[in-house]
Amino acid sequence: MSATPRSRYDWTRDDLADLLSDQPRYRVDQVWQGLYDHGTEPEDWSNVPKALRASVAEHLPPALRPAAESVSDDGETVKWLWTLADGHQVETVLMHYPDRTTVCVSSQAGCAMACGFCATGQAGFDRHLTTGEIVEQVVAARRRSAEAGKRLSNVVFMGMGEPFANYDRTWEAVHRIHDDLGLGARHLTLSTVGVVPGIRRLTEAALPVNLAVSVHLANALERDVLVPINKRYPLAVLAEACAAYVDATHRRLSFEWALIDGVNDTDRHARELADYARPLRAHVNLIPLNPTPGYAVRGTPPARVRAFAELLGDLGINATVRRTRGTDIDAACGQLRATHGEPGPTPVADPARR
């Protein structure tokens, strides 16, 4: 278990067995099933005696208290703002697509990477999330999906925070999501701004999850400014780590590229990206920049996005333009910041305080 259990999903099965040491072992299994197979509240576990349900509810309260919920794209996108036990806030975004349902989870409250175009980076770092706080986001999203008659199929670690700055807890969460919630490793994606030690560790890891790297610029001079961690893990070192990852795992690497008007969307930028991506056979996801309060430059206009994608194609690079979700509720890439101006999301009743 992580040092401070903040969530009921921080408890391992053995921790739970210790906690319920006065109970027969099969009760521990039932509680575990309630948490992971059903992902419901203890009050709903009809196979468990009432007193035990009450005790679990009391000792293991939910860590995520819904502070606000916003819906967009005709109900296909849902964003939650959660308040954690210590008052910090994080966000989770659920997205239904025709062929899949994906939840985008936060790995930290805030982020220390300070990318100027990202709302989370603009707001700064609060703290790491625990394993349980990450897993609980997935469980909440899975429950909501089920209510909508859909099965949660994918998890992307592309919410608030830098997963590889919180590697151990994140990796434990990946295991819990895979081993206990039953999602396939190929349906899980970790996204990093380029924290090289994390890529190296992932290269050695047993579960074949997907890796996405947020590149955004492929020359040192400009990337140092836009993505400050580049000074610590420069592009050449990043490429080396990516190459080792691809060689060792034979998995397809993705690059994220937020297209920013005049900043990284010229033909020269496309050529630099192509030269960087080609030896790694990386697939490029182009995301027209979403607006954030602290960054004045706008996203690349649609015609330029198309031209950039076409040029990449001509240069032999596989590129797709990502459709933006939830921009109107600040739920799109880079817009998560756990504070809200007007018009704000609708506050919801907190079931834990009923």
CB 120 within 8 Å of CB 191: no
Q: Which two tokens stand for residue 105?
A: 């989870």
For ligand SAH, which residue of 117, 125, 171, 276 counts as binding (CB under 6 A)? 117
* Least distance in angstroms from the C-beta of 12 to ligand SAH: 26
Helix pair angle (25-33, 50-59), 10° resolution? 60
Binding ligand SAH (rule: CB under 6 A), the pick from 92, 130, 254, 290 is: 290
Provide the minimum distance between the beta carbon of 80 and ligand SAH in the complex, in angstroms, as a whole number. Answer: 17
Task: Check residue 215 for interaction with ligand SAH (CB under 6 A).
Answer: no
| Residue 289 is a binding residue for ligand SAH (CB under 6 A) | yes
| Residues 20 and 29 sit within 8 Å (Cβ to Cβ) | no
- Nearest CA among 107, 106, 124 for reference residue 115: 124
Tell me whether strands 253-259 and 283-288 are parallel, antiparallel or unpaired: parallel
One of 191, 203, 254, 300 touching ligand SAH (CB under 6 A): 191
How many H helices and E strands in the chain? 11, 12
Does the protein bind ligand SAH through residue 189 (CB under 6 A)? Answer: no
Helix (H) or strand (E) holding 70: strand 65-72
Nearer to ligand SAH, 82 or 117 (CB): 117
Interface region with ligand SAH, contact rule CB under 6 A, candidates 11-19, 39-47, 110-118, 180-188: 110-118
334 binds ligand SAH per the rule CB under 6 A: yes
Q: Minimal CA–CA distance to 107: which of 125, 86, 85?
A: 125
- 330 is a contact residue toward ligand SAH (CB under 6 A): no
Classify 241 as helix, strand or coil: helix
Interacting span for ligand SAH (CB under 6 A) from 13-21, 41-49, 112-120, 133-141: 112-120
* Strand segments (E) across the chain: 65-72, 77-83, 89-96, 101-104, 108-110, 125-128, 154-157, 188-192, 210-214, 253-259, 283-288, 319-321
- Residues 255, 215 contacting (CB under 8 angstroms): yes
Between residues 150 and 283, which has the closer beta carbon with respect to ligand SAH?
Answer: 283
* Residue 193 touching ligand SAH (CB under 6 A): yes
Residues in a beta bridge with 241: none
- The footprint of ligand SAH on this chain (CB under 6 A) covers a number of residues equal to 17
The verdict on whether omega for the bond into residue 345 sits within 30 degrees of 0, i.e. cis, is no
First-to-last alpha carbon distance for the chain, in angstroms, is: 29
Q: How far is the CB of 167 from ligand SAH (least distance, A)?
A: 12
Which of these segments, 49-57, 75-83, 145-153, 187-195, binds ligand SAH (CB under 6 A)?
A: 187-195
Virtual torsion, Cα 114, 324, 315, 247, nearest 10 deg: 60
Q: Closest CB to ligand SAH among 53 and 79?
A: 79
Q: Could you tell me the smallest distance in angstroms from the CB atom of residue 63 to ligand SAH?
A: 21
Residues 119-178 that bind ligand SAH (CB under 6 A): 158, 162
Supply the minimum distance, in Å, between the C-beta of residue 265 and ligand SAH.
13
Six-digit token string for 54: 């009450």
Q: Using CB positions, name the residue nearest to ligand SAH.
A: 334
Active site residues: 91, 333
**Cα(20)–Cα(37) distance, integer angstroms:** 19
Segment near ligand SAH (CB under 6 A), from 29-37, 56-64, 283-291, 342-350?
Answer: 283-291
Residue among 28, 56, 258, 282 that touches ligand SAH (CB under 6 A): 258
Of 192, 203, 264, 300, the one binding ligand SAH (CB under 6 A) is 192
Q: Are 244 and 292 in contact (CB under 8 A)?
A: no
82 is written with which tokens?
A: 């959660």
Which residues are near ligand SAH by CB under 6 A?
Answer: 113, 117-118, 158, 162, 191-193, 214, 256, 258, 287, 289-290, 292, 333-334
